[in-house]
Amino acid sequence: MLGLSKKSDYALLALSYLATNGESRTVRTKEIAERFAIPAELLAKVMQRLAKMGWLASSPGPSGGYTLAVSDTSITVGDVVRAVDGGSALTHCMQSPEASGCEQWANCTIRGPLGFVNERVQDVLNHIPIRDIRERATPASAESELVKLVARDHSAPAAARRAGASRSRNEGDTP
């Protein structure tokens, strides 16, 4: 349905909460869960994945919890979605270079243009750090960031994911 899953939603929620309210304090999962009225166990699972990704520091035991381990500007919603939701591509074909298994690959005529659209969407997602996902104040900051994104050229950080649609010239591909 072209919508990110609830897990991504919860992850964004928790990360924004940690970035706002967890300066150097350990925040328990239950606290976040009760704060946002979401199932605690599911959020726990999401938190685990975030911790495994290296973005959260965990401390077990009583008075334990999670702490944001990285800067709130180094993670973007694209990263979060990709980590917690497993990929963030418009179609399965352009998820990985050629591990698609898409039967329409040979005949597909929309792969190229759709790849461009996908790249645009990914760019939008990859340029919103979680710092901008906050209370819904900060309209100036977020807006300026996005305006810069839309209006100006973006250079390096988008080179991470290399869209496999680079060469669309070959007629006879080798499966």
Q: Is residue 104 near DNA by the rule CB under 7 A? A: no
Q: Is 86 or 113 the residue whose CB approaches DNA more closely?
A: 86
How far apart CA 162 and CA 165 sit, in angstroms, is 9
Residue 162 binds a second copy (CB under 8 A): no
Rule CB under 8 A: say whether 3 interacts with a second copy: yes
Q: Which of these segments, 22-30, 46-54, 64-72, 107-115, binds a second copy (CB under 8 A)?
A: 107-115
Instruction: Return the half-sphere exposure (C-beta side, CA atoms, 13 A cut-off) of residue 102.
Output: 18
Q: Pick between residue 20 and residue 95 the one whose CB is nearest to DNA.
A: 95
Q: Which two tokens stand for residue 166?
A: 């680079």
Q: Which residues bind ligand FES (CB under 6 A)?
A: 9, 91, 93, 102, 104-105, 108, 110-111
Round to whole Å and give the CA distance between 174 and 167. Answer: 13
Candidates 54, 71, 86, 105: give the one binding DNA (CB under 7 A): 86
Can you tell me the distance from the alpha carbon of 47 to that of 4, in angstroms, rounded to the nearest whole number? Answer: 17
Site string for a second copy, 78-97 (x = CB under 8 A): ---x---xxxxxxxx-----
Triad 78, 36, 31: Cα angle to 5°:
105
d(CA 108, CA 125): 26
| DSSP state letters, 99-162 | ----TTTTT-SSHHHHHHHHHHHHHHHHT-BGGGSSSS--HHHHHHHHHHHHHS---SGGGSS-
Residues 4-33 touching a second copy, rule: CB under 8 A, are 4-5, 8-9, 12-13, 16-17, 20
Choose which of 23, 60, 168, 175 interacts with DNA (CB under 7 A): 60
Binding site for DNA (CB under 7 A): 1, 5-7, 28-30, 38-39, 41-42, 44-45, 47-48, 51-52, 58-66, 85-86
